[in-house]
């Protein structure tokens, strides 16, 4: 299979990576030239037609030799293979780009490459000092290299969406390809959506992440190659775990470029096009995505302050969000200013999946309280019904045991109320039957696409208050997953209702959730949005408008569901 690039050229959908890696965190492994040449030859024989190298890898020469050898043997022609290489960090000046590519072409012994990438957005000279050249200037040199016919396509590596946006706005030529790290632990859904929306093809390096124990850094999350779920999926398809991972990345729309110099591995890696993963299997693999976007602490703290000034008194955080510290600081600042007292605000946080053992609950909450700088929280929730350790293996502790730890945390006064998040009705029933204390709150996804009527009725009957996360669902185009159902923010019906009440579409959605009996918790770090979101209590929706909004419910989740896990405690569940 091939991808059509935005410049009209075609690119193979699978490739061979040729980097030999590091000996340690600072020293590159020496290149075994003969092994590298052989690997390229084996790959061509196995059907590979995409080869990824870079000046800094030291493999341009051996990649070129391997290709030339197969051309001489009559196995391929030059136009049959797609060669990508990269501009290293000390050639970021606009005038340095073409000479750097000529040097790479000399090593490859080629007249042109098919793809030339800026390897990193930051320039750095050989003496270690940083080159402050703006990468938009570097991009102008890349465009010139393409104009001169030295490369057919150009792109970037290790760039984020903002950086690519700057390039697109600064030039009439946009990146054809973005090469980024993609594996089970860092699946990059937001960046993949961005690239899809801008017709930028994605290559994924380090596709196996930390799956092989001897390649995993200390403390790296799982899964490992012997993970029960991965082995189960592999056995079902009569494939290996690495093949399952590579197929999953291909299904994400990523071109994987696994590296190997072992003939059997090279042949195995590309043998992924004779089977398909089911939607259930893909959802199960999605759960391994553990990357958390870094928190902008100052922005988070400011947002809390603005929210308090706007009238918010409920703040929802979680250990895994990394925002407990900034929420606590924002609240404390407003207390010190005399704007509020501690008892004026309601703080909720959550127990993460690696602390499901009964005896781990109280220590986990104490850790959260330390981060918040508080003596107690108002609400403590079990974040997910399924426990999972840091190494990626599942904790089979029954959540009813976890609940006993939650009850103990409440008994000690560390939290005023306790509840659950991402639990379904059957699960809450089990908690209620197992304990004299039932959940006070259930936090679930509720938005126009997943309105959860059955679960809302259940919670109402059981007197369990509902908090609704992701209240806007897929309404904003830049946050919607590919194929996500409407409506979008420009939907005519939503705009008509908003105009009737002199409100915005987001305000109409939030008011509708209030009318459903849900406490919405929209997130924002923008002052105007924060103020706008809470300004929904001076109007009411008509019954006709509520019925119309109810029509958007298609039971579509924008997030992941633990109900797809084979370790789910029960398969008898309602919508989560």
| Interval 38-58 mean pLDDT | 97
DSSP code of 27?
-
Query: Are the beta carbons of 86 and 55 closer than 8 angstroms?
Result: yes
Give yes or no: residues 307 and 376 share one domain. Answer: yes
Instruction: Confirm whether 219 is domain-assigned.
Output: no
406 domain-assigned? yes
272 within 8 A of 247, measured Cβ to Cβ? yes
258 with 297, same domain?
Answer: no
**Two tokens, residue 457:** 């009725």
Domain membership flag for residue 433: no
DSSP for residue 200:
-
| Cβ(256)–Cβ(15) below 8 Å | yes
Question: Do 15 and 118 have their domain in common?
Answer: yes
* Total tally of structural domains belonging to the chain: 3
Q: Is the pLDDT of residue 574 over 60?
A: no
pLDDT per residue as tens digits for the range 256-272: 999 999 999 999 999 99
The verdict on residue 302 lying in a domain is yes
Judge if 502 and 544 occupy the same domain: yes
Lowest mean pLDDT among 428-432, 482-486, 559-563: 559-563
The H or E element that residue 420 is part of is strand 415-421
- The pair of structure tokens assigned to 156 is 């970037």
pLDDT of 324 higher than 70: yes
In a domain, 142, yes or no: yes
Which tens digit of pLDDT belongs to each residue from 7-29? Answer: 999 999 999 999 987 654 445 67
Place of tokens 């994924």: 204
CATH number of the domain bearing residue 545:
3.20.20.100
- pLDDT for res 564: 41
Which range is least confidently modeled, 131-140, 225-234, 323-332, 557-566? 557-566
**Are 352 and 307 in the same domain?**
yes
- C-alpha–C-alpha distance, residues 416 and 342, integer Å: 13
Q: Does the residue 505 lie in any domain?
A: yes
Do 299 and 406 reside in the same domain of the chain? yes
> Which tens digits make up the pLDDT trace of 461-516?
999 999 999 999 999 987 777 678 999 999 999 999 999 999 999 999 999 999 99
- Mean pLDDT, residues 337-359 taken together: 96
Q: Give the model confidence (pLDDT) of 378-400 as tens digits.
A: 999 999 998 887 665 678 899 99
| Ordered alpha helix ranges (H), 272-397 | 279-286, 297-310, 324-336, 358-372
pLDDT band at 569 (very low <50, low <70, confident <90, very high): very low
Q: Which domain holds residue 498?
A: 445-450+467-477+485-576
Same-domain pairing of 18 and 152 = yes
Mean pLDDT of 226-244: 95
pLDDT, tens only, 181-201:
999 999 999 899 999 999 999
> How much of the chain is helix, strand and coil, in % rounded to 5?
45, 15, 40
> Is-cis flag, bond preceding 223, omega within 30?
yes
Lowest mean pLDDT among 42-51, 249-258, 329-338, 548-557: 548-557
Q: What is the 3-state secondary structure (H, E, C) of 33-61?
A: HHHHHHHHHHHHHHCCCEEECCHHHCCHH
> Within this chain, do residues 192 and 302 fall inside the same structural domain, yes or no?
no
Asked whether residue 567 carries a pLDDT value surpassing 60, the answer given is no
Query: What is the average pLDDT across 522-542?
Result: 96
Q: Three-state secondary structure along 205-267?
A: ECCCCCCCHHHCCCCCCCCCCCCHHHHHHHHHHCCCHHHHHHHHHHHCCEEECCECCCHHHHH
* pLDDT for the residue numbered 482: 64
Looking at the structure, do residues 386 and 523 belong to the same domain, yes or no? Answer: no
Calculate ∠ Cα 443-448-453, nearest 5°: 60
Q: Given the structure tokens 């793809």, which residue do they identify?
A: 115
Confidence tier at 294 by pLDDT (50, 70, 90): low
Over residues 539-559, mean pLDDT: 92
User: Cis (ω within 30 of 0) for the bond into 495?
Assistant: no
When pLDDT is cut at 50, 70 and 90, the band that residue 563 belongs to is very low
Give residue 565's pLDDT: 42
Residue 80 lies in a domain: yes
C-alpha span between 104 and 520 (Å, rounded) = 55
Quick check: 310 and 536 in contact, CB under 8 A? no
Q: Do both 504 and 403 map to the same domain?
A: no
Annotated catalytic residue, options 57, 321, 399, 512: 321
> Is residue 180's pLDDT more than 70?
yes
- Determine whether 469 is an active site residue: no
pLDDT at 550 over 70: yes
Distance of CA 142 to the CA centre of its chain: 29
User: Could you tell me if 46 and 185 lie in one domain?
Assistant: yes
CA distance readout (Å), 554 to 16, 242, 394, 452, 460? 41, 35, 31, 10, 21
The pTM (predicted TM-score) of the whole model is 0.55
Q: Are residues 256 and 321 in the same domain?
A: no
Note the pLDDT of residue 292.
Answer: 47
Flag whether 535 is in a domain.
yes
If we measure between CA atoms, which residue out of 210, 238, 237 comes closest to residue 226? 210
Residues 6+ apart with CB under 8 A from 310: 530, 531, 534
């Amino acid at each position: 299979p091939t991808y059509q690039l935005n410049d009209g050229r075609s690119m193979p959908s699978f490739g061979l990576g040729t980097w030999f890696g590091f000996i340690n965190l600072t020293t590159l492994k020496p290149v075994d030239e003969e092994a590298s040449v052989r690997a390229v030859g084996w790959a061509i024989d196995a059907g590979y037609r995409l080869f990824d190298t870079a000046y800094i890898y030291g493999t341009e020469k051996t990649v070129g030799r391997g290709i030339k050898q197969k051309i001489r043997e009559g196995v391929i022609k030059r136009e049959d293979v797609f060669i990508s290489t990269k501009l290293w960090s000390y050639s970021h000046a606009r005038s340095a780009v073409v000479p750097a590519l000529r040097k790479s072409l000399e090593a490859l012994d080629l007249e042109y490459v098919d793809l030339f990438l800026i390897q990193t957005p930051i320039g750095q000279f050989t003496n270690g000092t940083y080159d402050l050249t703006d990468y938009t200037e570097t991009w102008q040199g890349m465009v010139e290299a393409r104009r001169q016919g030295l490369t057919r396509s150009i792109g970037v590596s290790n760039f984020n969406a903002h950086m690519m946006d700057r390039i697109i706005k600064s030039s009439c030529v946009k990146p054809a390809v973005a090469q980024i790290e993609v594996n089970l632990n860092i699946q990059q859904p937001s960046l993949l959506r961005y690239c899809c929306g801008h017709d930028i093809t994605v290559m994924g390096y380090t596709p196996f992440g930390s799956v092989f124990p001897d390649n995993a850094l200390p403390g790296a999350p799982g899964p490992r190659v012997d993970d029960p779920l991965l082995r189960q999926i592999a056995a079902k398809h009569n494939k290996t775990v690495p093949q399952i991972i590579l197929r999953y990345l291909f299904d994400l729309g990523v071109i994987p470029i696994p590296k190997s110099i072992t003939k059997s591995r090279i042949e195995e890696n590309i043998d992924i096009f004779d089977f398909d993963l089911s939607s259930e299997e893909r959802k199960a693999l999605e759960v391994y995505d553990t990357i958390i976007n870094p928190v902008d602490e100052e922005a988070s703290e400011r947002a809390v302050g603005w929210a308090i000034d706007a009238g918010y008194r409920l703040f929802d955080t979680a250990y895994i969000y990394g925002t407990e510290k900034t929420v606590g600081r924002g609240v404390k600042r407003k207390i010190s200013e005399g704007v509020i007292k501690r008892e004026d605000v309601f703080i909720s946080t959550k127990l993460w999946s690696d602390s499901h053992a009964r005896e781990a609950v109280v220590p986990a909450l104490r850790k959260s309280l330390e981060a918040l700088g508080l003596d107690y929280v108002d609400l403590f929730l079990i974040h997910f019904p399924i426990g999972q350790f840091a190494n990626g293996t599942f904790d089979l502790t029954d959540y009813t045991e976890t609940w006993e730890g939650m009850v103990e945390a409440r008994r000690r006064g560390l939290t005023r109320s306790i509840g659950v998040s991402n639990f379904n009705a059957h699960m809450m029933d089990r908690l209620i039957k197992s304990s004299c204390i039932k959940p006070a709150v259930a936090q679930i996804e509720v938005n126009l696409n997943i309105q959860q009527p059955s679960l809302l009725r259940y919670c109402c009957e059981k007197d369990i208050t509902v908090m609704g996360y992701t209240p806007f669902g897929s309404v904003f185009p830049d946050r919607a997953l590919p194929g996500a159902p409407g409506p979008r923010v420009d939907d005519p019906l939503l705009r008509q209702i908003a105009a009737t009440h002199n409100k915005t579409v987001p305000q109409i959605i939030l008011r509708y959730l209030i009318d459903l009996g849900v406490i919405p918790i929209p997130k924002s770090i923008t002052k105007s949005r924060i103020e706008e979101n809470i300004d929904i209590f001076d109007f009411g929706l008509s019954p006709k408008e509520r019925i119309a909004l109810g029509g958007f419910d298609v039971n579509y989740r924008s997030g992941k569901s633990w109900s797809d896990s084979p370790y789910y405690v029960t398969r008898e569940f309602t919508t989560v």
